[in-house]
């Protein structure tokens, strides 16, 4: 005769393994979504972006969220435009004077959103898009704006 408590332990162990496997799969899928989208646009590191932006050669656009700008500040000379805005394209057009061939460099936290937005803007007719794959916080592409000790300015509602 089988011990009823053994079945309970066996059932609990099976359920725990199922949750563990499901969680690992969900984590794996979540990590997969964080892989930057591939694109054919130019890529530069934060130091080069800073140099080109300071010289007026590119429009540096920080596409992160306001809470991220609040935490870290924004890259000096960057224009903060939250990519989730309904009027993102219109705001970008205003920042570039409506010139969709103007040189624009996109920066986010770790290069994922900037890569995706680079691809989307290219499809929307923007031709001078550059991606900064290291982002502000760093990524597999490199240490990022903050760890390179490049200048930042505090973000306030008035900065936008």
Q: What is the pLDDT of residue 10?
A: 63
Ramachandran category for residue 4: left, alpha or beta (phi over 0 → left; psi -120 to 50 → alpha): alpha
72-130 pLDDT, tens digit per residue, is 999 999 999 999 999 999 999 999 999 999 999 999 999 899 999 998 999 899 999 99
Contacts of 159 by beta carbon, 8 Å cutoff, 6+ apart: 69, 74, 80, 153
Contacts of 40 by beta carbon, 8 Å cutoff, 6+ apart: 122
Question: Cα–Cα distance between 95 and 83 in angstroms, integer?
Answer: 14
Structural tokens at position 73? 């500040």
Neighbouring CB atoms inside 10 A of 84's CB total 11
Q: What is the H or E stretch that residue 93 is in?
A: helix 88-95
pTM, rounded to two decimals: 0.76
- Most distant CA atoms of the chain, gap in Å: 83
**Dihedral in degrees, nearest 10, Cα atoms 7, 12, 13, 17:** 140
């Amino acid at each position: 005769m089988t011990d009823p408590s053994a079945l309970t332990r066996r059932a609990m162990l099976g359920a725990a393994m199922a949750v563990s496997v499901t969680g690992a799969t969900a984590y794996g899928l979540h990590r997969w979504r964080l892989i930057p989208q591939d694109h054919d646009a130019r890529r530069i590191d934060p130091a080069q972006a800073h140099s080109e932006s300071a010289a007026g050669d590119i429009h540096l656009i920080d596409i992160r969220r306001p809470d991220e700008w609040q935490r870290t500040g924004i890259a000096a000379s960057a224009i903060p435009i939250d990519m989730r805005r309904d009027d993102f394209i219109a705001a970008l057009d205003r920042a570039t004077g409506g010139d969709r061939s103007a040189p624009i460099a996109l920066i986010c936290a770790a290069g994922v959103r900037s890569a995706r937005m680079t691809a989307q803007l290219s499809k929307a007719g923007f031709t001078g898009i550059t991606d900064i794959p290291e982002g502000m916080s760093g990524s597999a592409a490199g240490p990022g704006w903050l760890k390179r000790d490049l200048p930042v300015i505090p973000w306030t509602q008035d900065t936008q």
